[in-house]
Amino acid sequence: MDVMDAVARAVGAAPSMAAMSGDARRDMLYACADAVLAAGDEVVATAMAETGLTEARLRGELDRTANQFRLLGDHAAKPWRRVSAGVAAGGADVVTVPVPVGPVAVFAASNFPLAFGVSGGDTASALAAGCPVVVKAHPAQPRTGELLGALLARTLPEGTFSLVAGGPEVSLELVRAPGVKAVGFTGSLQGGRALMDVAAARPDPIPVYAEMGSLNPVLVLPGATGAATVGALAAAVTGSAGQLCTKPGLVLTESAAFADELAAAVASTSVHRMLTEPMAEAHRRWRADSSTRHRVVAGDGDPAPFAVVVDAAELAGELLEEHFGPSVVIGVGVAADILGRLAGSLTASVFAADDDRDEARALLPELLARAGRIVWNGVPTGVAVCDAMQHGGPWPATSASWSTSVGTEAVERFRRPVALQGLPPELLP
């Protein structure tokens, strides 16, 4: 569909969408969940062919997608207002209610073709907020995007959902479209920054909620260097061929022996192909470049899983950047000496024993300043979709560190509060 036609449809649907009751939005989102599950076999088979992701991974993602629609639907049906009695001039009551911002442009992600794709969390949270959606399909998965887009278009009211496709010029046209009032994006730092710049240059600047690059540092304190930690981290680094936004990209440890064990475990893990050839080529280049300057422990295959093992004092530049694929940088040194060099991340994880808690307490303020989620004795992959989840973080992890793209609080990105002062009760929404 043409961008301008899609946006015009969304603009036309916005008033009725905003007037829809919370119960009606819940029913609408439940219907989306049912539609996606009913076509589950076709959806999974199509996504497998286009992505190389395993059936087990995509089955789990399908269930997450449906549960996400339902959770956000339940949230949409809950009453949301704040009331302060008799506080304004003349003793008027002040009631705050949420108002949908209007049509939302959503950019589907490649690494979660279902849960962050056309049918993903940005789409579901915008619909839950009462906003029509225009989704830009990811070019790496055109058939998956078309299939999911057709399912949602048949399920949702006229104009509420549209799908567009194309290259960067289509993305920029969509953000520039006057009818679009907010943007949800998951992808690269370069792509997110380009959309932010275009959105800021509009006559009426609009917010871009972009999830971008994330290093996701892991601190392994002295009491937690056992085999269980090695196994958990190796699986997190290589799972889904290392193509998760929460993949641990940096592990800090004081133990050279632990570093060697983790590097060997990563290198010995079998992985499937990467999402696209450009991503696979970037992984190959990162291995080749790092091998010329650092110690690299690599496995077989293409993509080959590998670990870059360095002294923590060397950590700088590309060693502290996100690298998509089954690779990790392991820094051997004292974590407190390194944390100040790290940029913002979606997550930070700490593996520790009881005897490490004083050290962990001292490190916690630096972690809180640099991550949107802190994980204790666990890996950051496998983001729970729940009320309390914060899937965001300081720049460059996201463009809006106070927001989340997962969980019920994701809805708040796409509605704004309006204070109604002294209105007669029968006029209140």
Q: Is 32 one of the catalytic residues?
A: no
Residue 85 has pLDDT above 80, yes or no: no
Could you tell me if 181 and 85 lie in one domain? yes
What domain range is 69 assigned to? 3-212+398-427
Catalytic residue among 211, 261, 359, 409: 211
Question: Does 231 map to a domain?
Answer: yes
Could you tell me if 224 and 349 lie in one domain? yes
Could you tell me if 115 and 166 lie in one domain? yes
State the distance between the two ends of the chain, measured CA to CA, in whole angstroms.
Answer: 34
Question: Does 55 map to a domain?
Answer: yes
Q: How many domains, in total, are found in the chain?
A: 2
Could you tell me if 301 and 368 lie in one domain? yes
Mean pLDDT of 405-417: 96
Could you tell me if 103 and 147 lie in one domain? yes
Question: Does 51 map to a domain?
Answer: yes
Residue 428 pLDDT: 84
Residue 418, number of CB atoms within 10 A of its CB: 11
**How many CA atoms does the CB half-sphere of 141 hold within 13 Å?**
33
Could you tell me if 77 and 205 lie in one domain? yes
Give tens-digit pLDDT for 183-204: 999 999 999 999 999 999 999 9
Could you tell me if 143 and 257 lie in one domain? no
**Model pTM?**
0.94
Could you tell me if 355 and 420 lie in one domain? no
Question: Does 392 map to a domain?
Answer: no
Give tens-digit pLDDT for 217-240: 999 999 999 999 999 999 999 999
Question: Does 390 map to a domain?
Answer: no
Cα–Cα distances in Å, from 134 out to 65, 192, 217, 320?
18, 17, 34, 35
CATH number of the domain to which 9 belongs: 3.40.605.10
Residue 84 pLDDT: 83
**Rounded distance between C-alpha atoms, residue 7 and residue 225, angstroms:** 54
Give tens-digit pLDDT for 2-59: 999 999 999 999 999 999 999 999 999 999 999 999 999 999 999 999 999 999 999 9
Question: Does 391 map to a domain?
Answer: no
CATH number of the domain to which 370 belongs: 3.40.309.10
**Rounded distance between C-alpha atoms, residue 107 and residue 28, angstroms:** 21
Catalytic residue among 32, 50, 61, 245: 245
Could you tell me if 184 and 269 lie in one domain? no
Q: Is 245 one of the catalytic residues?
A: yes
Question: Does 307 map to a domain?
Answer: yes
Could you tell me if 161 and 263 lie in one domain? no
